[in-house]
Structure 1
Amino acid sequence: MDSPLRFRDLAALKVDVLHGVGPKKRDALAHVGVESVADLVTYYPRRYVDRTTEARVRDLLVGEEALVLATVSKVESRRTRNGRQLVTVRVTDGSGSLTVTFFNQAWRVRQLTEGTNAAFFGKVDEYRGRLQMTSPIVDLVGDRTGKVVPIYPQSEKAGLNTWETAAMVAEALRRCSPRGIDDPVPAATRDEYGLIDRGVALGLIHGPESMGDAMRARTRLVFDELFRVQLALLEQKRLLELHTTGIEHQTAGPLIDAFTAQLPFELTGAQQRTVGEIYADLGRPTPMHRLLQGDVGSGKTLVALFALLAAVVGGHQGALMAPTEVLAEQHVRAVRQLLDGLEVEAPESLLDSRPLAVELLTNRLNAAERRRVLEGLAAGHVDIVVGTHALIQDAVGFASLGVVVVDEQHRFGVDQRAWLRDKGRADGRTPDVLVMTATPIPRTA
């Protein structure tokens, strides 16, 4: 017995192996990015017409929204007095007739020719004693039957309509059915998360018997997308760990103890747990790249300070990068207030210690202040710097950058964060990166 088909098997099969897909349809599919059988079975409907909610024309009520499945009986196009193009379409479902109007959509004449079966969704109005919809959502359903009709993206330029696409998808799934489609997710995992089989999901996303079927299929296929993203991220992490070397920070000592002791409050349980996880990463020989997500006011900056102090304990520097000068100034005030009175070892000085130095670097600084901060960073006299994009300018150099904290990741490009991460060391080791964000993590991919 042949084993189930894997996606790599389907990706190796061009769409023209399917019955009914000749050169013309092959080229049309290629125009929308569908070249293989794998592409075709993952070319999902953009929405569905739920015929269980279908209304008959005779039952329509003025002022209410409704879904009507009807056949075009007449199409007219003319210009109004103010120069707008008016397309008037008369449709009937056997119980009555409905007028559908479109303004400045001349292409509807080609779409809604006489005899075309379509679904119309919109608000019902009355004009001169006749029921009417103005600019409703239109889905061409052809002669397909069933409670739920999938509607695929249509391309007039490519010459693709939804029922032709549905027929080709159905043919692809039919050809796959003897061997079935392999599911890489173990049955135990599917049971744990309430997921249906991948092959079943592909069948239901394209041919659901109910909207519940479509949602169950979507849940499984979204899981697959997220699963692939996670695998890609894990692979990136593995490669990063293989080819980069971290710093192995010291995450305990008098400086951190003194900071904790002088806080006017105790850390919450969530903050303690998060600091512990970050410190576990910082103590490893591989560089950290961690996302710290929390609501505004949840104490992310305080947690980030613990990470920055771990760099300072080992004789390195910390950098906090904010998206705007206003936020950078707010951060530096908060950091200075929280770290006030703390001292660090000063082997280059006649004294045993010196005050922990926190500086601000933005484009608002005058030339003298900017030069002083840059010299302090290069010499290692600045322990923590707070700044904006000014931190990634060519003139900025660090003696030993250990930890980088970026506030609001979405405001910075990948290249900018990489620049700040890579430019701070001459020994080849990679600083650790902590990204703070109040933005919820997207639930879809």
Structure 2
Amino acid sequence: MGAQLAGRLAKLDLHRPEDLVLHLPLRYEDETRLTPIAVARPGFPAQVEGEVISSEVTLRPRRQLVARVRDASGTLVARWLNFYPSQQKMLAPGSRVRLFGEVRGGFFGDEMVHPRLKRVEMGEGLPEALTPVYPTTAGLGQATLRKLIDRALASSSLDDLLPPTVCGALSLPSFADAVRALHHPAPDADPAALEQREHPAWRRIRFEELLVQQLSLRRAYNARRARGAVALAARGELTAALLAQLPFRLTGAQARAAGEIAADLAAPHPMQRLLQGDVGSGKTIVAALAMLQAAENGYQAALMAPTEILAEQHWKKLAAWLAPLGLHVAWLSGSRRKREREAELERLRSGEVLLAVGTHALIEDPVTLPRLALAVVDEQHRFGVRQRLALREKASVGEGAALRPHMLMMSATPIPRTLAMTHYADLDVSILDELPPGRTPIRTRLVSDARRDEVVGRLRAACRGGRQAYWVCPLIEESETLQLQTALDTFQALTAALPELRIGLL
């Protein structure tokens, strides 16, 4: 294989024969039958065969190759805006050709633009099966791809991950049969099932992809559990004191999640757990109990949130809960004064302060947490993988250099448990599936923009009744690419519509 061809294949991430085997068709074309020119429907692909009655290169309105092809039912115009001398030779008058393409109405009648062209003899046979069409890149034709894939199918080992008994129980074909059926569909294969990915071969490929993903995630899970972490014994000193002073009792779901997390923290391998619960389900108190378990053992814990508003909300709540216990919670954000910030950093660096809350400021270079044993990330989907890892790496100095901190990620995204277990197969998952007493269920309504005045009226009524309202916009300022309502425009509109109310802009 030449360097040029290898470079084009690399653009499709095709480097090995196995990659070619799994480079599956994007769609299929039916070249198993001929359509008379007179009955070919505009807007639909068709294959026609006929005699070339004329062929010429015209210069107006632009240079193009134009040919007329005739069969027993009618005549069709074919045109190529980009063409090769070999195509001109194939379209010599009197030649017999097959054209495959989409028919459309033209100035001189029905035509095909850039149809696939093949020179044939009278009575030449047709393919017996559908023709696969693959994802490709510039300079890499379908014919070349088909040859390379056929060669890979012949030389590659198509061993099955699943035993025959499992395939039989799930009504799945073998892996080898599945890939061969997709690259070379049988003559009686259902075209609709192939196009809509409902064919048994596609079901097997989907199953294979999911199985391999789960196996790889499970390997990562097992590798993580093989690493070392600080075993944080559940001493119950600070956690019991916090629970005793709270003006509320934990829900059953909170108690269950806290117990699962406490057991993980006591293990000598790093926890990696997702705490999932809707807004108002009480994730913060569960995180606080986990952070206290680290403090009880003389280690540090840090909570990182994506926005300063959310991080400050967590800090104020934790500070109010933990101040009576004699614990200081450091607050790190980009908006703090330099002197205050440096003082907090020094106390964290020395290990005097065991608990910290902040935004991305937590993962900046000046921050050092030498005894970090637990990292909590709220709204974890708002952070990139590197950002989450950067918080973990804050423990890479000092006595914990050889140990990984425990990780607790929190999310309010309402993913069903089964889907969460699938998507986060490398995580353990705790679900807060009940709201604390007194919390009313959240009701969501979709309202047309034409009823915006009604929404504003509801806001006025709610605020006059002593309540608060939030109006969330997707953009802050106007964008050239996104036609969405901005916060600035909405602020001005609401200020004009509700002059009697005090409206703030965050």
TM-score range, shorter chain: 0.5 to 0.7
Q: Is the contact made by 1:182 and 1:199 (CA closer than 8 Å) also made in structure 2?
A: yes
Residue number in structure 1 paired with 2:407: 433
1:175-214 → structure 2 map (5 Å cutoff): 181-191=158-168, 194-208=171-185, 209-211=189-191, 212=193
Aligned residue pairs total 390
Query: Which of 347, 372, 382 in structure 2 is aligned with 1:401?
Result: 372
Alpha-carbon offset, residue 79 of structure 1: 6.2
Which residue pairs with 1:340 in the alignment?
A: 320
Query: By how many angstroms is 1:333 displaced?
Result: 0.8
- Contact 1:328–1:360 under 8 Å retained in 2: no
Contact 2:304 2:357 in 1 (8 A): yes
Q: Which residue of 2 aligns with 1:148?
A: 130
Give 2:451's aligned residue.
none
Partner of 1:318: 301
The Cα of 1:367 is off from its aligned counterpart by 0.9
- 1:378 equivalent to 2:352? Answer no
1:366 maps to 337
Deviation (angstroms), 1:386? 2.4
| Match of residue 236 from structure 2 | 253
Q: Which structure 2 residues correspond to residues 229-240 of structure 1 after superposition, within 5 A? A: 229-240=213-224
Letter in 1 for 2:341: R
Cross-structure match for 1:68:
46
Q: 1:71 & 1:264 partners in 2: Cα distance?
A: 81
Give the letter aligned to residue 212 of structure 2: R
In structure 2, runs of 5+ residues without a counterpart are: 120-124, 424-506
How far residue 200 of structure 1 moved from its aligned partner, in angstroms, is 1.3
Residues 356-383 of structure 1 show CA distances to partners (whole Å, capped at 9, x for unaligned) of 4333312211112212321332244544
SS at match of 2:161: coil
- Work out the CA distance in 1 between the residues paired with 2:365 and 2:334: 13
Once the two structures are superposed, the pairs formed by residues 26-45 of structure 1 within 5 Å of their partners are 28=5, 31-33=8-10, 36-45=16-25
Identity rate, percent: 31
Q: Shift of residue 201 of structure 1?
A: 1.3
Residue 285 of structure 1, CA deviation: 0.4
SS in 1 for 2:25: coil
Question: Shift in Å at residue 49 of structure 1?
Answer: 2.7
**Partners in 2 of 1:78 and 1:279 — Cα distance?**
79
CA drift of 1:197 comes to 1.3
| Alignment check: 8 A CA contact 2:370 2:399 kept | no
Q: For residues 52-201 of structure 1, what are the structure 2 equivalents within 5 Å?
A: 58-59=38-39, 65-70=43-48, 78=59, 80=61, 107=82, 114=91, 119-120=100-101, 126-128=105-107, 130-131=109-110, 145-146=127-128, 148-155=130-137, 157=139, 160-170=140-150, 172-173=152-153, 181-191=158-168, 194-201=171-178
Cα deviation, residue 433, structure 1: 1.6
State the alpha-carbon separation in 1 of the partners of residues 98 and 134 from structure 2.
Answer: 15
Q: Secondary structure at the match of 2:295?
A: helix
Q: Which amino acid aligns with 2:409?
A: V
Q: Answer with 373-382 or 387-396: which moved more.
A: 373-382
Asked if the contact 1:357–1:381 (Cα under 8 Å) also holds between the matched residues in 2, the reply is no
CA RMSD of aligned residues (A): 4.6
| Alignment check: 8 A CA contact 2:304 2:311 kept | no
Distance 2:178 2:329 in 1: 56
TM-score, reference length from structure 2:
0.61
195, 202, 218: which one aligns with 1:218 = 202
Q: Distance in 2 between matches of 1:54 and 1:434?
A: 63
CA deviation digits over 1:80-134, x for unaligned, max 9? 4xxx8878787788755566778xxx5466897757756535xx76444734678
Q: Deviations over 1:174-217 (max 9, x none)?
A: 567xxx83212233444565533111111112122235356432
Taking a change above 3 Å as real, the CA distance of residues 144 and 188 of structure 1, as seen in their structure-2 partners, is same
How far 1:146 moved relative to its partner? 4.2
**Alignment of 1:419 onto 2:378:** no
Residues 8-23 of structure 1 mapped to structure 2, 5 A cutoff: none
Q: Post-superposition shift, 1:331?
A: 3.0
Structure 1 Cα separation of the partners of residues 86 and 248 of structure 2: 70
Seen in structure 2, the aligned counterparts of structure 1 residues 127 and 307 have a Cα distance that, compared at 3 Å, is: farther
Q: Find the partner of 1:331 among 288, 311, 315.
A: 311
Contact conserved, 2:158 with 2:175, CA < 8 A, in 1?
yes
Aligned-partner residue type, residue 388 of structure 2: R
CA separation in 1, counterparts of 2:173 and 2:264?
36
Name the CA distance, whole Å, in 2 between partners of 1:412 and 1:111: 55
2:300 partner letter:
Q
Q: List runs of 5+ in structure 1 lacking aligned partners.
A: 1-22, 345-352
SS in 2 for 1:68: strand
Q: Is the 8 A contact 1:144 1:163 kept in 2?
A: no
CA contact (8 A) 2:315 2:331 kept: no
Shift of 1:426: 1.8
Conserved in 2, the CA contact under 8 Å of 1:49 and 1:119? no
Bigger Cα displacement from structure 2, 387-396 vs 401-410: 401-410
| Deviations 1:256-309, CA, capped at 9 Å, x for gaps | 34555737575474x665544433322210012344566777765555444334
The answer to whether the Cα contact below 8 Å between 2:380 and 2:410 also exists between their aligned partners in 1 is yes
State the secondary structure of the residue aligned to 1:202.
helix
